[in-house]
Structure 1
């Protein structure tokens, strides 16, 4: 597993991660979330909902990974949406996501 997914696990262990649509939505609305990660295989409705929500609150988002890998990395089942609540971890995840998107994270 690459650094991006390892960092997601670190965020969970540090208590800086919200998983699932309801928790992430509440975190975005209350501005507790610094970054939203949406899986590439999330439903179109889920993607549209969170993209619009993030844009309305000026919160960055990434569409990266798949539900299975994201879920595994945080010790849960398939997870389509997660929110990161720490700004420093969010910034590092954005950098690592660029690696995943550009060359598969190897």
Structure 2
């Protein structure tokens, strides 16, 4: 006999909003970071030292912003997948219960 799978669908579906909130918070942090960076402008200057700094800093900061954006998208995607998994579990459980009841009508399912 296989192991049993028990899922509290209400609790499981509650995770969706938590992931949505993580996505929202991540985007808010991204906005705060970009506003802070944009507010500073190119304060390193255009001399040799400033140019050397910019050659390393600008690409790295843009990559960081891109990764934060991607992270927010990942949180949203996880929420969507949790929701669809809950729907699938619910549908499967309902279908199986219906079959069980049709085979054993006195089972009380």
TM-score normalised according to structure 1 size: 0.23
**Larger relative strand fraction:** 1
